[in-house]
Structure 1
């Protein structure tokens, strides 16, 4: 199975911004959120997108 065009992970500092779906990572601050997003981007072979100051997603195009 080849995974195409999917949200692989959600990273946030505000748990109220997300609900069930892709794996959710809740961080304490923006710096931690950016580090987690960068690491997951490499691990999951995806692309990180900042949707707001409190929310990143990792997607596979």
Structure 2
């Protein structure tokens, strides 16, 4: 079972829930933040192609 451990998005109004949410103002910053968190959290980043990247832990 997978668990969403963080969300990185460009549009605050498009996301919600219980996971930490990080808002970035450009695609470049979005990707940099997501891939840094991916390493820190030992998680997998998945780009939803709508300005949102979720980080999932499968442990």
Would you say how many aligned residue pairs link Structure 1 and Structure 2? 58
TM-score, normalisation: structure 1: 0.88
Could you tell me which runs of 5 or more consecutive residues in structure 2 were left unpaired when the two chains were aligned.
none
Aligned-residue Cα RMSD (Å) equals: 1.1
The runs of at least 4 consecutive aligned structure 1 residues that moved more than 4 Å come to none
User: Which residue in the other structure is 1:8 paired with?
Assistant: 5
TM-score (norm 2): 0.91
Aligned residues of 1:30 and 1:53 also touching (Cα < 8 A): no
Where do 5+ consecutive residues of structure 1 fail to align? none
Larger radius of gyration: 1
CA distance in 1, matches of 2:21, 2:30: 11
